[in-house]
Amino acid sequence: MSILAELEHVSKLYGKIKALDDVTLKVRKGEIFTLIGPNGAGKTTLLKILACLEKPDYGNVYINGERIEDRNRNKAKLNTTLVFQKSTQFSTSVYDNITYGLKLRGISKKQIDEAAKHALEMVKLEGYEKRLAKRLSGGEQQRVALARALALNTSLLFLDEPTANLDPKSVSIIEEVIREVNRQKGTTIMMATHNIFQTEQIAEKVALLINGKIANVGTVDEILRGKSRSLAKFVRLENIFSGTSEVLKEGTSCVRLDDGVTIEAALRRSGRITVFIRPEDIILSKRRLESSARNVFEGKIVEVSDQGPLVRLKVDAGEEFVVQITKRSFIEMGLNVGSQIYLTFKASSVQSI
């Protein structure tokens, strides 16, 4: 396959912070490529540069073999589109949100209508054309953002954490759309994600980004199943629990852990199972939160670990959970060892191993 997008010794600085450090990367035409790495690794910056939304401070960017410069940057943008993790919707209808970019390109009304109809069908939002986009659920809004990108029919589609914190239905639809648009249209897709398991299911190629540098790049088997110290550090799992899972009529599963705690998971698995929850996916509060989250536990802080701007806590809530919050939040909430608190996390935050 030919190379469609390429970074050559690219670095990007924001003040004294080096977001990308001498990154060289090639994305081949028609492949699904994922970027994995911790928060702050530079994944979003890399996507913005490849999507021609930002310029590198050093190095070169190539799209379709052509070096991107000021003279051809706007033209190159027409071949790329980027869907951000937190989509922004205009205060108007779903139809107007999806067709905004098409109208700017001077496409006929008939073509615009056809593109919008097809995009809505792909994201399973048929009949939503006249609804106000900002009144939709978070998952539906993200699907509108994806539909807006699909309607443009670009050769390069960039996705920044497209399923983070979404409901299971929206996650499933978006993952299927990614596969389908790649399979049907040959669209080249690059996706940044924290989700190792999603990467295994969708991607062909993977790059591990750590502190702005490419630590590893290769096939899914080479990176996720190889002996990489960088990857082992990144995917170190905490909050690992084993128990017995039972599928509920709502489509989720009730996991009864060996120590008696029950967790609801957005999975359809029965029998013995091992699950984990990332520390950063757990919300900590001094009062019980009113939310749609399916898992709420009361517990007591038994250990505090200061990690600079972050604080990691161990909380005894029947099971011992590790929770990560900012130091500012820790101080403002007046927490310490022995504090009584509540843990809240969504069923979609529970992953199986």
| pLDDT at residue number 256 | 93
Which candidate, 200, 279, 272, 197, places its Cα nearest to that of 238?
279
According to CATH, what is the number of the domain 274-352?
2.40.50.100
Per-residue pLDDT of the chain (353 residues; tens, 9 = 90+): 699 999 999 999 999 889 999 999 999 999 999 998 877 789 999 999 999 999 999 999 999 999 999 999 999 998 999 999 887 888 899 999 999 888 888 889 999 999 999 999 999 999 999 999 899 988 899 999 999 999 999 999 999 999 877 777 888 899 999 999 999 899 999 999 877 767 888 899 999 888 899 988 988 878 766 655 566 556 555 787 888 999 998 889 999 987 789 999 998 888 988 788 888 889 999 999 888 888 999 999 998 887 778 888 999 999 999 999 998 999 999 999 999 999 999 999 898 76
| pLDDT at residue number 205 | 93
Q: How far is 10 from 7, CA to CA, in rounded Å?
A: 6
Q: Where are the domains of the chain?
A: 3-234, 274-352
Assigned superfamily of 3-234: P-loop containing nucleotide triphosphate hydrolases (3.40.50.300)
Q: What pLDDT, in 10s, does the model give residues 226-257?
A: 655 566 556 555 787 888 999 998 889 999 98
Written as one string, the DSSP assignment of 265-295 is ES----EEEEEEE-GGG-EEESS---SS-SE
Buried b (16+ CB within 10 A) or exposed e, 61-82: bbbeeeebeeeeeeebbebbbb
According to DSSP, the β-strands at 32-36 and 188-193 are parallel
| pLDDT at residue number 130 | 93
H/E stretch holding 76: helix 73-77
| pLDDT at residue number 229 | 56
Q: 163: left (phi > 0), else alpha (psi -120 to 50), else beta? A: alpha
| pLDDT at residue number 35 | 94
| pLDDT at residue number 66 | 93
